[in-house]
Amino acid sequence: MTPLRWAFLGRVPYEDATTLQGYLVDLVRRGETGDTLLLLTHPPVITLGRGAHAENVVIPDDERTAAGIELHQAGRGGDVTYHGPGQLVGYPIVALRENRRDAHRYLRELEEGLIATAAAHGVTASRINGLTGIWVGDAKLAAIGVRIGTGWITSHGFALNVGRDLKGFEAIVPCGIRDRSVTSLALELDRDIAPEDVAEAAATAVAEALGYEAVWDDPALAALSRGALSSPPVPGDRP
């Protein structure tokens, strides 16, 4: 199977993660590096997808700033979402092969990988027809918003709620859906769990769903990031 290199980079500011994705997309497009899955967490941030509606950010700007929540436009599809420290964010940078160049198939594969990740931790999640992401009942467990650029190279990706604290979601209407709630692995399991505890299972499951074999490559990816960031993530032990 084709390897999908992955690393858990810890907490990375949203703008830095966007810069790093662009850098890796260019390397993949030029054939200078292989397909990659970045796993990380963000400081509190609201992101606006290409289909975002301003009214789905329900916190006033002054309160948002006082709460330390950044606001950024994102080049992904979808509406409004929130990222915070208790969330595992995944950015697959992969060149979709000719027989896999189907955006809807790619979204369903990401969902499949996230459903398997939840199952590996004892949580049963599923799809809801017509809605992107994965759910436990009517509560959203993971959001997905992707970009597929020139050469069918992907960026952006998914956000899996892991920790107990979901207060940040009160600042938005998640993905513009007003009649559903959000949940997390920790809430479903009724025990504490951190994003780094889930990283390897997520890498394995998402890679398999996309037709790859997950290969941990944290030191190399941290070294690559030095070409894009003035303060790159520090390589660490495998989660």
3-state SS, residue 120: helix
- Distance separating the N- and C-terminal Cα atoms of the chain: 23
Query: 3-class secondary structure for 10-52?
Result: EECCHHHHHHHHHHHHHHHHCCCCCCEEEEEECCCEEEECCCC
| Whole-angstrom distance, CA of residue 75 vs CA of residue 188 | 31
pLDDT digits (tens, 9 = 90+) for 203-220: 999 999 999 999 998 766
Residue 34 has pLDDT above 70, yes or no: yes
Question: Rounded to two decimals, what is the model's pTM?
Answer: 0.93
Give the catalytic positions in this structure.
Answer: 175
Task: Provide the residue ranges of all domains of the chain, joining segments of one domain with +.
Answer: 2-225
Q: Quick one: average pLDDT of 34-50?
A: 94
pLDDT band, very low/low/confident/very high, at 77 (cuts 50, 70, 90): confident
Mean predicted confidence (pLDDT) in 51-62? 90
Task: Answer for the pair 77, 50: CB distance below 8 angstroms, yes or no.
Answer: yes
What is the distance between the alpha carbons of residues 190 and 100, in angstroms, rounded to a whole number? 38
Give me the pLDDT at residue 53, please.
Answer: 87
DSSP 150: T
pLDDT in tens, 123-177: 999 999 999 999 999 999 999 999 999 999 999 999 999 999 999 999 988 766 7
The average pLDDT across 63-71 equals 94
pLDDT band at residue 231, thresholds of 50, 70 and 90?
low
Write the Ramachandran bin of 30: left for phi over 0, alpha for psi from -120 to 50, otherwise beta: alpha
> Residue 51: what pLDDT?
84
The arrangement of strands across the sheet holding 45-48 comes to 70-73, 45-48, 80-83
Fold of 2-225: BirA Bifunctional Protein; domain 2 (3.30.930)
Please provide the average confidence, as pLDDT, over all residues in the chain.
Answer: 91
Identify the pLDDT of residue 180: 81
**What tokens appear for 114 in the block?**
């996230």
Type of residue numbered 165 = D
